[in-house]
Amino acid sequence: MEETLILGHAISIDKIENIKIRHAVLRSIKSCSSCVFSDNPGHTDHSDTCDAHSDNHTDHTDNSDYHCGTYD
């Protein structure tokens, strides 16, 4: 697997032992590299990104789809 620069560390993502951190890295880089919504010029906010992720991630443990979370 090729190396990716994450927070100044050149790593192969599959070498990240902690699954939750690996998940966070995958989410982060996918928002830029392979998110199906990334070519939408208006798509700069987190909430759309988060929704897009929830629908399009099939390769890791993301099975949640929380609401905005500001309410209760």
Partner 1 sequence: MSMSTLHNAMNQVVNYAKGRRITFIWHGGEPLLLDLKFYQEVAEVSRTLRDRGHSIRNAIQTNGTLVTDALLDFITKERDFRLGLSLDGPEVVNDFSRPKADGSGSFKQILQTITAIREREARAQDVSIGSGVICIIGRHNIKHLDALYDFFKSHQINFKVNPLVMAGRATCSLAVTPMEYGEAMCRLFDLWIDDPNTIRIDPFQEIMTSLISGTPSSCNFSDSCAKTFVSIGPLGDIYPCGRFDGMSEFRLGNVNDPDGLKMALSSPEHAKLGSRGKFLSGGGGSCSGCQYLPICNGGCMHIAHISGDVMGKDPFCAMYKSLYGHISKKLHAALAKAENIQ
Residue ranges that bind partner 1, judged by CB under 8 A:
3, 6-7, 9-13, 15-21, 23-25, 27-29, 31-32, 37, 42, 45-52, 61-72
Closest approach of Cβ 29 to partner 1, in Å?
8
φ/ψ (deg, to 5) at 64? -110, 160
Closest approach of Cβ 10 to partner 1, in Å?
6
13, two tokens:
């993502």
Contact 22, 37 (CB under 8 A): no
Q: What angle do CA 6, 23, 43 make, to 5 degrees?
A: 75
Closest approach of Cβ 39 to partner 1, in Å?
13
